[in-house]
Amino acid sequence: MPIQKKNVYGLIFIFAFTLFYYLWLFLFQDHSYLLTWGGNTLSLIGSAVPSIWLYQAYKTAEKPDKPFWFLITLGTFSYFLAECSWILYESVLRIEVPYPGIPDLFYILNVLFYLSAFGFKLYKEKTKLVLTRYIFDILFIMIVYATLSWYFLLNPIILAGDVSLLAVVVSLAYPIGDLALAFCLLMVIFSSKQLFSNDLILFFGAGLFTYIVADTAFVYLVSTETYDSGSWTDPLFILGVLLIGFTGLLQKNQSFNLLRKKAVDRTKPMLFAILFPFFGLTFLYLFMIYTTTGANAITIGVGLSILLVIIRQFLLLSENRRLLQKYLKNADELQSSQERYRSLFEHHPDAAFSFTLDGIVQSVNEKGAEILGKTREELIGHSLIDTIHADYQETVKGHFNNAKKGIFKHYELPFSNLGNEFYYLGVTHVPIKVDGEVIGVYAIARDITENKINQEQIKYMAFHDHLTHLANRIRFEEVLQKSIEDAKMHDKKFALLFMDLNNFKDVNDDYGHAFGDKLLAQVARRIASMVKKDDCAARLGGDEFTILIDDLDSYDDAMRWASQLLNKLNKPYLIDGEEIVCTPSVGFAYYPKDGECVQDLLNKADAAMYKNKRHSKAM
């Protein structure tokens, strides 16, 4: 990720500040007081600024990254405290800075916090085994370096004069810490997972490298008693700390997520980390031969044994690498499969659930939670059977049990959630199989409410008259046929009433067809108010209506009902402010007396109606 333009000013400040520091040391090299005060003040500022940058990064970092930035901030702040204590001794109290002293405590804490930060990063991103190897490698570095430092540096100093054990430990801590930081940085750079962006790696590396160079030079100058405040190493310390602090600006301004991983070859071995311990061991062995009486049978035997152990380890590492490649390939395929499944599951437009064999919800997507009117957290770990209406629970249980047997079938389920929202759901239960064994059940529930309503509306329109909302001819003949079959089976009687409106043509001619339609609608409402649940009223077309009066004890019952209907229909109608009277003519057909099929009964009732109409005109 390229450095943003606003961060360029930070870089300009870092290098301008370092240049000014060196310029100060050059200009005032012959003025001890100004040299010391200026150098200490610049060191104080140079460690305070990166502490602020890193603290801001910690405040804005994402939660998983906060511990890392907190530890880095503590490390830089420890360096700032070391500079505070140094300036207190040298510039305020005007006494020689003790060695070892309080500044050394904070300088060492600075390194320990940096090591802890990178150790945390490796811990979060790697397995415990890799982290353990990292710790052992750090200990190995410490042992090798401590051995060499003791032989070449510290032992001569101790033999030459009165040096305290604390001074020895502190003198040893600086180079060991530097080497551990260097190794840690290499671990991060060559890690099989990219733990940081390239920018962050660049400036962490540059900062730590500069810091290590400065610290190594400082230890050498102290050990040779040639170090003075205002040395050429002082600006290097500050440059290293500023470069580390600059990573805080990168994190803050770019909002870079440290946990982001780029595509890298995870099977490429970290050759340096593998070979480093063997190089160290070989070097110590050769050094042992050099410092003793020379090679003999024992040292040669030990050397060959070490060589065989190293060869054996390389063979094991080669086999481990092959197995690791195979494991990582399978892991990548599995992860890819899981991510595809998770993406399909989470973003599926239908409600999706996974259940245990006991019917407990293991996972649910957002659409499923929306339809059920609950949060995902409220659903996971619970059964859904109680959310289903009692009339449908056995149906759902049956389909769920069939899915456990490997049988699945689509079915429709009416459902009302806690918010009284009604859905028609198209549900399919699918068994989850692993190695041929059913371990759970998926459920996909599609919201078919709109389709269902549209289907019902279409079905309603297909069997009902759009003007009066009574049954149409198709529906009426279908009901009439079922009544005939039922009557034959149970020896029942029913009546069929055929009716039209007298003078309806005149109403249309005088008032218009829209007025006539409103009259037909009011007539239909009066008829519907008289029809029982098991009866059926229909408009066959025009002003013709039919009514099925079902399950009669006697034909006289039909006559009494028709008389009540006529009394209601003969009353005036108020339409658009006009009051009119439009009386009907009716005719009856009785089952089974007048016919035993649909057409015979309709023809008989129609003929009876026209006979009555002619009779009423004659009168």
Average pLDDT over residues 305-316: 75
Higher confidence at residue 419 or residue 441? 441
Per-residue CA distances from 369 to 396, 445, 578 (Å): 18, 11, 56
Higher confidence at residue 401 or residue 199? 401
Residue 1 has a pLDDT of: 43
Per-residue CA distances from 562 to 477, 496, 531, 573, 584 (Å): 20, 11, 11, 19, 11
Average pLDDT over residues 212-222: 76
277 pLDDT exceeds 70?
Answer: no
Per-residue CA distances from 618 to 310, 581, 612, 613, 615 (Å): 127, 20, 10, 9, 5
Alpha-carbon distance of 514 to 167, in angstroms, equals 112
Tokens of 425: 């759901």
Cβ atoms of residues 396 and 413 within 8 Å:
yes
Average pLDDT over residues 234-257: 79
Lowest mean pLDDT among 216-220, 258-262, 602-606: 258-262
Alpha-carbon distance of 419 to 63, in angstroms, equals 36
Lowest mean pLDDT among 246-255, 472-481, 493-502: 246-255
Q: Which residue has the tokens 């001890």?
A: 32
Closest CA to 119 of 67, 172, 192, 64: 67
Closest CA to 258 of 203, 200, 207, 202: 200
In three-state form (DSSP H/G/I as H, E/B as E, the rest C), the secondary structure along 438-456 is: EEEEEEEEEECHHHHHHHH
Residue 468 pLDDT class (50, 70, 90 cuts): very high
* Cβ neighbour number for residue 98 with a 10 Å cutoff: 10
**Edge-to-edge, what's the strand order for the sheet holding 351-355?**
361-364, 351-355, 437-447, 422-434, 410-416
- Cα within 13 Å of Cα(36), Cβ side: 17
133 pLDDT exceeds 80?
Answer: no
Cβ atoms of residues 196 and 204 within 8 Å:
yes
Residue 243 has a pLDDT of: 92
Residue 256 has a pLDDT of: 41
Which residues, other chains included, contact 308 with Cβ-Cβ below 8 Å and sequence gap of 6+?
Answer: none
Residue 134 has a pLDDT of: 60
* Cβ neighbour number for residue 212 with a 10 Å cutoff: 21
pLDDT tens-digit series, residues 8-28: 888 899 999 999 989 998 888
pLDDT tens-digit series, residues 431-451: 888 777 888 898 988 888 888
Residue 257 has a pLDDT of: 42
Alpha-carbon distance of 431 to 601, in angstroms, equals 55
Cβ atoms of residues 544 and 555 within 8 Å:
no
Residue 484 has a pLDDT of: 93
At residue 330, what is the residue type? N
Higher confidence at residue 598 or residue 147? 598
